[in-house]
Amino acid sequence: MRTASSRSVTVAVGAVLGAGALLTAFPFLWMVFGSVKPRSESVADPPRLLPREPTVENYARLFGELDFGRYLGNTIAVVLISMAGVLLMAMAGYGFAKFRFRGRAALFFLVPATMMIPVQVTMIPAYLVLDGMRLTGTLIGIALPGLVSGFGVFLFRQFMTTVPTEMIEAARIDGAGEARIFWRIVLPLSRPIVAVQIVLAFIGSWNSFLWPLVIAGDERLYTLSVGLALLTRQIATSPSLQMAGSTLMVVPVLVVFIVFQRHIVRGFTLSGLK
Amino acid sequence: MKPSLAPYAFVAPALLLLLTFGVLPILVAVPVSLTDLNLAGLADWSRIGFVGLDNYRRLFADPGFWQALANTGIFALLGVPAVIVVSFVAALLLHRSENRFFRALRAFYFVPAVTAIVAVSLVWGYLYNTQFGLLNHLLSVAGLPPARWLGDPVLVKLSVVFVAVWRGTGLNIIIFLAALKAIPQEYLEAAELDGASGTRKIFSIVIPLLRFAFLFVAVTTVIGWLQFFDEPFVLTKGGPLGESTSMSLFLYQEGFSAGEFGYAGAGTLVLFLIIAGVTLPQVRARRTDADR
């Protein structure tokens, strides 16, 4: 029953939500416009949203004077390594979904249990573990602690239980090896969840801060997040330079978010309800 | 067919990593917390000495530890209700219509959740800046005195929490929206026929049906506040005078800035026990609820 009054309530709700959305988005607008202001404008009083003389000098400085080209490369390397984690989580999800084996219940109990202990809590001993493995000061060491999440394994398992067992059995009878069955049948049938996980792994590793900060050690291994956080310690820093660095970090994720919004929302939704 | 090794080969790599970084660190923290392990000891293991419970004694006598613990408690007390209320109300409003305008608006609310905390903290730091920040300019336009957003011992907590709430609601809006969609339409229609008002429907039908979503959001948000790190690190470095230092930032400073791994290891175990104490009852409540 759609009455006129109910429609006007919807319009009012829409207006409130629109105002809220603008407030939410405003810091990003401030960031992007701030990134193309000359230094003098970025510290001017009164502050203005739009730059009077837009410039790309801040971006030029990030990649010229500062080493953000290298940080970008390191970030991309960490993102690529994290994709291997998606494969490992998919394998584990398949193992738990489609095999009956001794110790399965006990091992699967471990998966959500590890989700209760956040890395920020265990960073000191985890650093000592990585140090014992001689992995501090390496890109692998930066990526390794976040490579696999219990939540990811859990999602893969939930999805892969829906893959028809008959197809797997038929392939086995035809003499296909286990690795081949996984690669040729199970993974292609699980494309939706693989897409969700790839997008989440990209966002997580691109944004990751704690492990790059703790493990990198020296500047050659800084990722964008660490370079950006330590930008405040540079002598010749300015708000517009910081905004340029922030824009550099945020925009790729925004693009990925806009393109894959449905996948991301779906991934987050699954996280809440299963 | 004999039992195959295939399943073990599939699950082993991921499980090994989960154990190495999810469980092993807690086990490592136990012996480490009983030693004076520091940077020198890390380079030369023969210089590590056993100190018994000294680290724990020192920890409980350390005002910095209590301050960080109290700050984390304050952050959670402010932040958990704020995140739950804001994201539930936003989800409820967004759920009102399926038209294109509402669907497009959702994206705006989700965006902060996927962006890097380091980057958004810098942006907020710029807005909070006392010399050339926008917020103080707006205050002056309104004829109000400037605020020391990140310099005042009380205000800094609110400022830091606000950034985290602003970023943290998106994910929870998604969760509440999905839960709202799952409510059978007949329930609401039946209530309407019985003459229930809008608020009555929300409090008597929607909220009780959403209790799993509320519990999930509550548990993850509490854990989120216990691991609160990036925002204070970038915005304030924990200052002024430790007023915005969270527990994880305290551990970072003791462990990596001061290089006192043994001492920080003791702090790790204490924080771990707190997290277990806070989350286990909530998880158990959920399980018994699900059994019914």
pLDDT at B41 over 50: yes
CATH of the domain at A202: 1.10.3720.10
From chain B, the residues in CB contact with A247 under 8 A are 119
Q: What is the pLDDT of residues A109-153, one digit of tens each?
A: 888 777 777 788 889 999 999 998 999 889 999 999 989 988 889
Residue A183 lies in a domain: yes
B166 CB within 8 Å of a chain A CB: yes
Could you tell me what percent of chain A has a pLDDT over 90? 50
pLDDT at B285 over 70: no
Determine the average pLDDT of the residues in B84-92. 94
Residue A154 lies in a domain: yes
Sketch the domain layout of chain B as residue ranges: 20-291
Q: What is the pLDDT of residues B94-127, one digit of tens each?
A: 998 888 888 888 888 888 988 999 999 999 999 9
Show Cβ contacts of residue B110 under 8 Å, excluding neighbours closer than 6 positions: A257, A261, A264, A265, B170, B171, B173, B174
- φ and ψ at residue B50, rounded to 5 degrees: -80, 130
A19 CB within 8 Å of a chain B CB: no
Q: Which of A89, A249, A268 sits opposite B171 (nearest CB)?
A: A268
Among the ranges given (A58-72, A155-169, B133-147, B178-192), the one the predictor scored with the smallest mean pLDDT: B178-192
**Minimum CA–CA partner of A178 in chain B:** B6
Q: What distance in Å separates residue A26's CA from the closest CA in chain B?
A: 10
Q: What is the pLDDT of residues B5-27, one digit of tens each?
A: 889 999 999 999 999 998 899 99
Residue A85 lies in a domain: yes
| Planar angle of CA A39, A43, A49, nearest 5 degrees | 95
pLDDT at A220 over 60: yes
pLDDT at A235: 61
B254 alpha-carbon distance from chain centroid: 21
Mean pLDDT of chain B: 87
Determine the average pLDDT of the residues in B175-189. 86
From chain B, the residues in CB contact with A175 under 8 A are none
Q: List the one residue out of A24, A184, A273 whose CA is nearest residue B111.
A: A24
Q: What is the 3-state secondary structure (H, E, C) of chain A?
A: CCCHHHHHHHHHHHHHHHHHHHHHHHHHHHHHHHHCCCHHHHCCCCCCCCCCCCCCHHHHHHHCCCCHHHHHHHHHHHHHHHHHHHHHHHHHHHHHHHCCCCCHHHHHHHHHHHHHCCHHHHHHHHHHHHHHCCCCCCHHHHHHHHCCCHHHHHHHHHHHCCCCHHHHHHHHHCCCCHHHHHHHHHHHHCHHHHHHHHHHHHHHHHHCCHHHHHHHCCHHHCCHHHHHHHHHHCCCCCHHHHHHHHHHHHHHHHHHHHHCHHHHHHHHHHHHHC
From chain B, the residues in CB contact with A207 under 8 A are 114-118
From chain B, the residues in CB contact with A245 under 8 A are 119, 122
- ipTM of this model? 0.88
User: Cβ(B35)–Cβ(B257) under 8 Å?
Assistant: no
Q: What is the pLDDT of residues A200-209, one digit of tens each?
A: 899 999 999 9
B20-291 CATH, one of 1.10.3720.10, 3.50.50.60, 2.20.25.240, 3.30.750.210: 1.10.3720.10
Residue A49 lies in a domain: no
Residue A274 banded pLDDT, cuts 50, 70, 90: very low
> Could you tell me the residue range of the domain that residue A144 belongs to?
57-270
Angle, helices A261-273/B155-181, rounded to nearest 10 degrees: 90
Q: What is the pLDDT of residues B212-263, one digit of tens each?
A: 888 888 888 888 888 889 999 999 988 888 899 999 999 999 988 888 899 9
Residue A29 lies in a domain: no
pLDDT at B292 over 50: no
Peptide bond preceding B208 in cis form (omega within 30 of 0): no
Q: What is the pLDDT of residues B142-161, one digit of tens each?
A: 989 888 999 899 999 999 99
From chain A, the residues in CB contact with B11 under 8 A are 91-92, 95-96, 107
Higher-confidence residue of A238 and A183: namely A183
Cβ contact, residue pair A150, B13, below 8 Å: no
Q: What distance in Å separates residue B154's CA from the closest CA in chain A?
A: 23
**Minimum CA–CA partner of B229 in chain A:** A120
Q: Which of A114, A124, A229 sits opposite B251 (nearest CB)?
A: A124
**Domains in chain A, number:** 1
Q: Choose, out of B126, B130, B249, the residue to mutate when testing the contact with A (most A CBs < 10 Å).
A: B126
